[in-house]
Structure 1
Amino acid sequence: MRRKLALAAMLATTLTGCGMLPGQLAAGGGEEKQPVPTKEQTATKEQTATSEPPSGQPGTGAPAARTEELQAIASRKVKHDESDLRIDITGLKRQGKIATLTWTISNLATSDAAGDDWYVGANLGNDALDWTVAGVTLIDPVNGKRYRVARKGTGEDAACVCSRVNQRIKGGGSLEMYAVYGAPPADVTKLTVEFPDLGVFTDVPVS
């Protein structure tokens, strides 16, 4: 009996030192605790991070740099309120039951003076006080269906799942925007994108 008790005490001590006591839960709702690295492991990781920086990782560069890296799948120049603009659609991606549209609007003015900026405001919204891009819609030309921006709820005041744009774009500057919709049927590979007051893009590929 004494031998069994001694063996049990030894096992309990070993498990406690490894952080594996029975019934103990991982912190953070499923997050796994990582072991504390040694000085040698830390030095190796820092050397790797310095010599091989990740490319295209969000948050690692200035917003302007990220905008330049985006590949446009459709682009056009438009004139609105005396401002010369360019709209670049950078993605229309289906993910399960939703589709996400991303685009960038650039102000082509060569001066960043106050008089050359373009106020987004309610130009892409549904009314004069809608400072979002909720007015941007997708049209399924095959099934004759229009998709409007998704909402966080069912009430009239439910917020859209999209960008808020109560700001100005200076000359030479640009602004990235997004909107989420219900996804079209799987056999629909191209959609029409309609921007209020800024025109229509046809045959935009769905990826």
Structure 2
Amino acid sequence: MDQPFPPSGLPRTARLFLPMALSAVLLSACVTTSETSTPSPSADGTPNSTETPSNEISPVATSTYTASSEGTNLRFSIISLERISEEMVVLSIAIKNEGFEDAYVIFSLSNVNGQQSTPDGVSLVDTVNQKRYMPLKLTDGKTCHCYSWNGKELLASGDSINAWVAFPSPPPEVDKVAVTTPVTPDFLDIPIIEATGTKEEIAQTPVGEPQILDLRAFQDDIESGTSRADSSEENQVILSSDVLFELNESDLTPEAEEILKGVAEEIDTSSATTVHIDGYTDNTGDDSINIPLSEARAESVRQALEELVTRDGIQFETAGHGSNDPVGNNDTEEGRRKNRRVTVTFAK
């Protein structure tokens, strides 16, 4: 169900938990090179130290976010990306509080529906092969094969956390990747180096099936309410429900017709024989409201596209998912807006 979100409705601690919701100033990542040694996880899979990294250690790349209203200034540093076996690489990260007051880092690097206090929202991007590598999970299929700072979420001024996360290994010929996180600009051209120190326990830990995704080029047009997440094989148009529909309604607005005309033209010129239309809501309300609303909205888009598409032989399939599969944080106004959407997916 759609529900307007109060602009200042979060308490102080919640705003610190959710850095992406803040009016943050994200500074561009600056890449440096280093030939010095880097901190390595110990035999039990945890970093050797949770203290501030030594001044002698130069990170590969750094990025910060600043929230002036809270005095929060966290520095995220990529320490190293090491190939510890043919199947696994390990990324080492440092998070330092450079602000003047304590900062909560509980959700800083976690996935939207992932594990709190872990870097399971970090990914590696292989731009050569157009692949995104997600963190490895243990054999339970849920637990990230990574360091957890559970119990250390409150980071005092000047303190830091060293964390690591394991990924499927890119092909041997790939020697650089980009690193993406939920709270920083992308770290570009991070070199993959051979492992230093002993990481046998990490390498030998049983893990589940690797998750390697086709890379999608994402474009976000806030004014039009239309975003894209295209891959090499298919197009995905993400339509904002706030533009397509009135609050809690499934009848298309006048603005929606012009937007859907453009989508129909793309479908006409594509090779698609099947078009998938999926509706989603934010998490206000419950499934008894959200799922029927998302289904009705997907159906309205289907009816409009069937009339607008001129090419024969195209089948339309619709589904409503309610608040499942969020792409934004439902505790923030911006995140809830992103989650209220209808996606149209079809082959190129």
TM-score with structure 1 setting the length: 0.61
Q: Could you list the runs of 5+ residues in structure 2 that have no partner in the other structure?
A: 1-38, 194-348
CA displacement, residues 19-64 of structure 1 (integer Å, 9 cap, x when unaligned) = xxxxxxxxxxxxxxxxxxxxxxxxxxxxxxxxxxxxx8979x9743
**Which of 147, 171, 183 is equivalent to 2:157?**
171
Residue pair 1:133, 1:165 contacting (<8 A) in 2 also: no
CA distance in 1, matches of 2:62, 2:115: 25
Q: What's the offset of the Cα at 1:165?
A: 2.9
CA distance in 1, matches of 2:164, 2:49: 18
Q: What's the offset of the Cα at 1:125?
A: 1.3
Residue pair 1:67, 1:176 contacting (<8 A) in 2 also: no
Q: What's the offset of the Cα at 1:95?
A: 1.9
Match of 1:101 in 2: 91
CA distance in 1, matches of 2:105, 2:52: 21
Q: Structure 1 190/198 Cα, relative in aligned 2: closer, same or farther at 3 Å? A: same
CA displacement, residues 45-87 of structure 1 (integer Å, 9 cap, x when unaligned) = xxxxxxxxxxx8979x974365444331112222256511211
Q: Structure 1 190/129 Cα, relative in aligned 2: closer, same or farther at 3 Å? A: closer
Match of 1:92 in 2: 81
CA distance in 1, matches of 2:80, 2:138: 22
Please tell me whether residue 161 in structure 1 is matched to residue 150 in structure 2.
no
Amino acid at match of 1:138: L
Match of 1:70 in 2: 57
CA distance in 1, matches of 2:106, 2:191: 28
Q: Structure 1 149/64 Cα, relative in aligned 2: closer, same or farther at 3 Å? A: same
CA distance in 1, matches of 2:175, 2:89: 12
Aligned-partner SS, 2:51: helix
CA distance in 2, matches of 1:64, 1:123: 18
CA distance in 1, matches of 2:157, 2:113: 24
Amino acid at match of 2:185: G
- Aligned ranges 1:6-85 → 2 under 5 Å: 63-64=50-51, 66-79=53-66, 82-85=71-74
Q: What's the offset of the Cα at 1:159?
A: 1.1
Number of residue pairs the alignment of both structures matches: 144
CA displacement, residues 92-126 of structure 1 (integer Å, 9 cap, x when unaligned) = 011221000001011112x3xxxx22211123112
Amino acid at match of 1:161: H
CA distance in 1, matches of 2:94, 2:102: 15
Please tell me whether residue 149 in structure 1 is matched to residue 135 in structure 2.
yes
Amino acid at match of 1:164: S
CA distance in 2, matches of 1:65, 1:137: 24
What percent identity do the matched residue pairs reach? 28
Q: Which runs of 4+ in 1 moved over 6 A?
A: 56-59
CA distance in 2, matches of 1:137, 1:74: 15
Amino acid at match of 1:119: Y
CA distance in 1, matches of 2:51, 2:148: 19
Residue pair 2:64, 2:184 contacting (<8 A) in 1 also: no
CA distance in 2, matches of 1:128, 1:198: 18
Residue pair 2:176, 2:191 contacting (<8 A) in 1 also: yes
Please tell me whether residue 195 in structure 1 is matched to residue 181 in structure 2.
yes
Residue pair 2:109, 2:121 contacting (<8 A) in 1 also: yes
Q: Structure 1 172/160 Cα, relative in aligned 2: closer, same or farther at 3 Å? A: same
Q: Structure 1 105/186 Cα, relative in aligned 2: closer, same or farther at 3 Å? A: same
TM-score with structure 2 setting the length: 0.38
In our comparison, the structure showing a higher alpha carbon Rg is 1
Q: Structure 1 126/67 Cα, relative in aligned 2: closer, same or farther at 3 Å? A: same
Q: What's the offset of the Cα at 1:128?
A: 5.5
Match of 2:166 in 1: 180
- Aligned ranges 1:102-141 → 2 under 5 Å: 102-109=92-99, 111=100, 116-127=101-112, 130-131=115-116, 132-141=118-127
